[in-house]
Structure formats: C-alpha cells, structure tokens
C-alpha cells in the first residue's frame, strides 16, 4: 500500500516537473518573440552587421527584394561565398523584418548553351557579371558559367551587386576572403542609393583648362550608375559655389586661378563643402618626347593654388616620382624585321603604380594599386584641427626628382642605380578631415567683410564646419585614355599591357567617402581572417589525425557504455541486497 502511494507521488512530481518545463519553455518563447537579440561569438564579428546597416534596415519604408543568382552546384570556394551571402541575408532579414525579402534563383541550370548565352547577354546589360568556373569531375576538367551576383529591387528601381572582387596579384583564398568582407558594404550601399529621393550632386569644375569631358567620360558614367547627379560648374558664372553641390571635383587644372574663384572655393569649404583635388605641380606629358632629341624639361605649373593647399594642411611638391619596383612599362622600337618595326616594353619609372597605404582606411581597404602618370609627392603641414590620412604611396624603392626635371628616353638604355632609390613610401594622396582655416583669414579688407556680412549667403567665414577633402598629386589618376579612331578606354585600363588597375574604384570610394553621411562606407573596414590549414603539416600528420578522429570517438562511446553499465548494475544490486536484508 505504501509502495503504491510513493509511486503515485512520484508520478505527480514528474507531471508537475514536466508541466513546469513546458510553462518555462512557453514563457521563454513568448519573451523571445517580444525581445530580439542575436549573439555573435566570433572574434572579428563576422556574422554581425554594422550599426549604419542596422539603422538602414530598421528604417525601410517599403519592401526591398533581393534575387541572388549564385548556384549551389559549385566548388568549395563559391559554396563558402554563397553561405556567407545567405548568412548576411538572414541577418538583414532579422533587422528588416517584413520589408526585406530574398531568394536564391538559378538562371542557367537546365538551359541549353544558346539559352545561356542569351541570359548572360541580357543580364550583362543590367550590370550582372558572369564567371566561367573550372572544376574537376573525376579526372575530367569541366567548365561552368556562374553568376556570383544579386539584383536588388526597391520601388521598381533596381541595382546590381557583384560579389567577386577583381584583384590583381591576390591568391584565390585572399580574393575570396576580400569578396566576403565587402558583401555588407555592397548590399547596404546599394539599398541606401535605391532609397535616395534626391541624388547627391557632384560638380566637375571647368574654366581653368581642366580635363575634357571625353577624358573623364568613364568615371562620369560610373558615378551616374552609382546614383550621383553629375554636372559641370563654371565659377565665373556664379557668385558662389551653389550650396546643393555635395562635392566639387577639380580635375587637373592647367590654367591659373584668379583670387575671385579661389575665394568662392574657399568659402564653399568653410560652409562645409567637400572637394576632391587632383592637381599637378609639375607639368609633364609623353607627347613632349616625340621630338628629335626624345627629351624635354618638366617645369612647375602656375595654377596659383599652392597657398590654399598650404593653409588647409598639405603641400604638393614641385617634383616628380620615380619608382623602380612598381611602374608601368612603355613600348619602344628596338629594331626592324622584314621592314616592320620591332617593339619591346621597358619599365618607365615616371609611371608609378601607387599602392594603398598600410592604414586600412575604408577608401583603400582591399583595393588594387592605382596607376599614376608623372606623379608628385605630398607633404602634410602640422595642424591640430585637421586630421591627415595617407591614402596612396609609392613602393619602398622610389625617389623624387626636384623640378625642373629632364625627361629623356636615353635613361632606358642604362641600368638604374638601385642605391639611389632610397625614399620609400612617398605620399601621393591624402585625406584631410576637420575644421579648416580660411585662406583669406586676416587678408580681407574690413570694408568688404562688413558689406559681405550683410548678406546671409555671402557672410565671410574664417573657419570651416567639420568637413573633409582629398588631395591627389596626379591629375591623370581620374583620366581615361582615348582610343584611336574615337571612344575611350575604361578608367585604369593601360592599353600597353592590357591590365586594369583600381583608379575607378579608388575615385568612386573617394567620392562616396566625401558625400556619405550615413557612415556605410566604414563597413569596408570589416575584417575576416582567413585561418588556413598548414598543408605541409596536414600531409605529414594525415594518418595521425585520421586515427584520432576515428578511434577516439569509438573508444569514448565504448568506455562510457561500460562505466554506465557497471554503475547501474552496482546501484540496483545494492538496492536488492538492502531490500532482502530489511525483510
């Protein structure tokens, strides 16, 4: 009777505990549905999105739809990329809620070759790039077209996102890793631009013999594709730089600025305006070598901007860089063969390939080198209110020649003196941020200042609001080469080698950093470390780790079973003996 009562109490306790567990689980689910949080335990927070992205997604006012075209049936690297995209999309969905949706779509699977070609051509017009992937099927190497890209749609507007970074000189693992790092920036930036009700307005300054329209045609097209309104500005026709100009681009001026135009630029900066300066303090051009002597002298320019640059915190020096290690070549005729000229490529030290600085700033993070053409160096001037960040430098084997510089082709006939190239990492592009002092402080007549101050839009400011500018000591960094017979090459493309460097990416990043108020470009600083296995160690210790991974789990399970059986038998044997003794 007593045993039955104990059994009944035990059942009641069990039911009570089960009920409590169910109630606790219900309450946890209810609280979890109301209070949302996510935990990312990785060191570099690889599964977390930045605060600017969270804010963007939480404030969506309509549905953002993402179609992702990367297939499952790809190699391990592309599968990793696809998984990273899927993780990011799930994170976006968590913050975007019902206003964010995504799906994976296979556009090429099951299609004939002709159908694939039509689809590839159709989507290339939309800005979606296709990659030809090689993979092993047994002993046979197969080729497959894949689309590592997505199309984002918002209120009938669309913008493509291509996942792969086209980086020269990077190992496949590094290239893939950098592509994964840039995913958040690419997606968030595209969504942000699709939401714009008014496009940021950029103005190329004209009137001082700047680069022609055709010479900046490619970057102009790229900026328009990135949802910028691009226009031209002739300062002689305005009493001030219009306040709706988000950034002013001054691209290789070769004329002399008068003080009136300089004053307009200065006061634009004092009112918080942003400027991308691309100046040359020494004028040199390859066309000048086409003479009997095959030489010319490069002299300083006279654009009358040095005093402004110095006041703002930098000085573009009157010199030209030579880089022994990183430079583009030029073709020279070395002889005749059958009446035809034979050409050979020679390194041209005046065409430096500029490297991203080692500070990993968002503008230069994970970008390729940038092509330079007769580049000068930049010095920074001490200023407590202006922060300076070097963006581009020469290699460790470089030097600067003071102007006037004798440029001649005979130098290619001689072996360069390596010991003379001992000025490493010369700065050629600098970001300036902070509060700038006006170039006209204490220089304006008091009567003019009194009159100007009576008009709100013309009020003289001797210090700027918090703003930023970028100074590049090579105007050709933004210039695209022209094709024979008309047309132009893509910016950064060097038709001598057929190689495309990162000039376009660099300029786009510069403009975005200057105009971006949301801080989304800071997501380019995200870092995901590639923790690669030691292939030599794997080969040497392969059998050891195979045995560890197969035998230890089996032995552990067997030992656990033996110990559990022994303890169980001992427990119940002891209880049986105790019951017999009590009876």
Q: Is the pLDDT of residue 391 over 90?
A: yes
- CATH C-level class of 51-194: alpha beta
Label residue 397 by pLDDT band (50, 70, 90): very high
Output the pLDDT for position 4: 58
462 versus 44: which is more confidently predicted? 462
Output the pLDDT for position 45: 54
Q: Which class for 286: exposed (0-12), middle (13-18), buried (19 or more C-beta within 10 A)?
A: middle
- Give CA–CA dist 438/311, Å, rounded: 7
Output the pLDDT for position 379: 96
Q: Which of 18-27, 139-148, 483-492 has the lowest mean pLDDT?
A: 139-148
Structure tokens at 26: 């219900």
178 versus 498: which is more confidently predicted? 498
Pairing state between β 386-393 and 378-380: unpaired
Label residue 474 by pLDDT band (50, 70, 90): very high
Q: Which whole number is the average pLDDT over 430-443?
A: 93
- Give CA–CA dist 9/264, Å, rounded: 91
80 versus 18: which is more confidently predicted? 80
Label residue 394 by pLDDT band (50, 70, 90): very high
The radius of gyration of the chain from alpha carbons, rounded to an integer in Å, stands at: 33
174 versus 54: which is more confidently predicted? 54
60 versus 537: which is more confidently predicted? 60
Q: Kindly report, residue by residue over 229-243, the tens digit of the pLDDT.
A: 999 999 999 989 999
236-254 exposure pattern, b = at least 16 Cβ within 10 A, e = fewer? eeeeebeeebbbbbbbbbe
Structure tokens at 129: 């790039």
Q: Which of 142-151, 203-212, 395-404 has the lowest mean pLDDT?
A: 142-151
**pTM as predicted:** 0.78
Q: Is the pLDDT of residue 494 over 90?
A: yes
Q: Kindly report, residue by residue over 249-279, the tens digit of the pLDDT.
A: 999 999 999 999 999 999 999 999 999 999 9
Residues in Cβ contact with 306 at an 8 Å cutoff, skipping those fewer than 6 apart? 281, 315, 316
- Give CA–CA dist 62/99, Å, rounded: 6
Q: Which whole number is the average pLDDT over 460-478?
A: 94
Q: Which of 8-17, 351-360, 442-451 is predicted most confidently?
A: 351-360
Structure tokens at 437: 């002092």
In the chain, what is the greatest distance between 2 CA atoms, to the nearest angstrom? 125
Label residue 37 by pLDDT band (50, 70, 90): low
Output the pLDDT for position 1: 56
57 versus 21: which is more confidently predicted? 57
- Can you give the residue ranges of every domain in the chain? 1-35, 51-194, 201-501, 536-578
Q: Which of 106-120, 309-323, 341-355 has the lowest mean pLDDT?
A: 106-120
Output the pLDDT for position 274: 96
In the chain, % of residues over pLDDT 90: 43
Q: Is the pLDDT of residue 532 over 60?
A: no
Q: Which whole number is the average pLDDT over 498-511?
A: 93
Output the pLDDT for position 241: 94
285 versus 18: which is more confidently predicted? 285
- Average pLDDT of the chain is 85
- Give CA–CA dist 53/184, Å, rounded: 8
Output the pLDDT for position 386: 95
Output the pLDDT for position 169: 57
Output the pLDDT for position 545: 76
Label residue 578 by pLDDT band (50, 70, 90): low
- The residue assigned the tokens 């002399």 is 256
Q: Is the pLDDT of residue 583 over 90?
A: no
Q: Which whole number is the average pLDDT over 56-85?
A: 86
Q: Kindly report, residue by residue over 291-340, the tens digit of the pLDDT.
A: 777 889 999 998 999 999 999 999 999 999 999 999 999 988 877 777 78
């Amino acid at each position: 009777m007593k045993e039955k009562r104990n059994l009944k109490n035990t059942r009641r306790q069990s039911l009570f505990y089960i009920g409590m567990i169910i109630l606790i689980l219900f309450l946890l689910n209810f609280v979890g549905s109301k209070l949302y949080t996510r935990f990312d335990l990785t060191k570099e927070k690889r599964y977390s999105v930045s605060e600017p992205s969270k804010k963007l997604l939480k404030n969506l006012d309509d549905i953002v739809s993402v179609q992702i075209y990367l297939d499952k049936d790809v190699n391990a690297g592309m599968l990793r990329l696809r998984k990273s995209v899927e993780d990011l999309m799930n994170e976006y969905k968590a913050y975007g809620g019902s206003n964010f949706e995504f799906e994976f779509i296979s556009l090429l699977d099951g299609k004939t070759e002709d159908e694939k070609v039509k689809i590839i051509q159709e989507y290339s017009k939309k800005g979606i790039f296709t990659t030809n992937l090689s993979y092993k099927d047994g002993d046979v190497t197969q080729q497959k077209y894949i689309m590592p890209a997505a199309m984002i749609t918002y209120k009938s507007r669309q913008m493509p996102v291509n996942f792969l970074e086209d980086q020269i000189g990077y190992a496949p693992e590094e290239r893939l890793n950098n592509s994964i790092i840039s995913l958040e920036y690419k997606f968030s930036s595209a969504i942000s631009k699709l939401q714009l009700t008014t496009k940021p307005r950029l103005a190329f300054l004209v009137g001082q013999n700047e680069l022609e329209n055709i010479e900046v045609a490619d970057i102009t097209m790229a900026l328009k594709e990135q949802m910028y309104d691009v226009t031209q500005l002739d300062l002689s026709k305005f009493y001030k730089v219009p306040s709706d100009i988000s950034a002013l681009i001054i691209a290789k001026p070769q004329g002399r600025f008068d003080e009136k135009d300089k004053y307009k630029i200065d006061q634009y900066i004092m009112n918080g305006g942003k400027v991308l300066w691309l100046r040359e303090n020494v004028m040199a051009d390859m066309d000048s070598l086409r003479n009997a002597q095959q030489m010319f002298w490069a002299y300083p320019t006279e654009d009358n901007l040095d005093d402004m640059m110095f006041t703002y915190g930098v000085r573009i020096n009157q010199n030209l860089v030579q880089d022994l290690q990183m430079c583009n070549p030029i073709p020279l005729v070395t002889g005749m063969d059958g009446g035809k000229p034979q050409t050979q490529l020679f390194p041209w030290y005046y065409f430096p390939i500029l490297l991203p600085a080692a500070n990993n700033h968002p503008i230069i993070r994970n970008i390729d080198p940038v092509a330079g053409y007769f580049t000068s160096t930049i010095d920074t001037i001490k200023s407590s209110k202006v922060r300076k960040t070097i963006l581009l430098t020469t290699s460790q084997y470089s030097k600067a020649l003071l102007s006037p510089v004798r440029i001649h082709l005979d130098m290619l006939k001689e072996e360069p003196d390596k010991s003379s190239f001992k000025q490493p990492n010369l700065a050629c592009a600098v970001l300036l941020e902070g509060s700038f002092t006006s170039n006209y402080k204490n220089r304006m007549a008091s009567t003019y200042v009194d009159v100007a101050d009576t008009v709100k839009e013309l009020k003289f400011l001797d210090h700027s609001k918090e703003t930023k500018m970028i100074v590049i000591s090579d105007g050709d960094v933004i210039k695209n080469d022209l094709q024979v017979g008309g047309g132009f090459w893509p910016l950064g493309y060097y038709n001598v080698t057929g190689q495309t460097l990162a000039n376009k990416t660099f300029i786009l990043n510069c403009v975005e950093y200057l105009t971006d108020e949301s801080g989304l470009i800071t997501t380019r600083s995200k870092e995901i470390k590639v923790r690669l296995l030691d292939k030599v160690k794997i080969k040497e210790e392969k059998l050891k780790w195979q045995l560890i991974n197969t035998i230890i789990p089996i032995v552990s399970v067997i030992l656990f079973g033996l110990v559990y059986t022994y303890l169980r038998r001992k427990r119940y044997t002891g209880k049986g003996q105790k019951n017999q003794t009590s009876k």
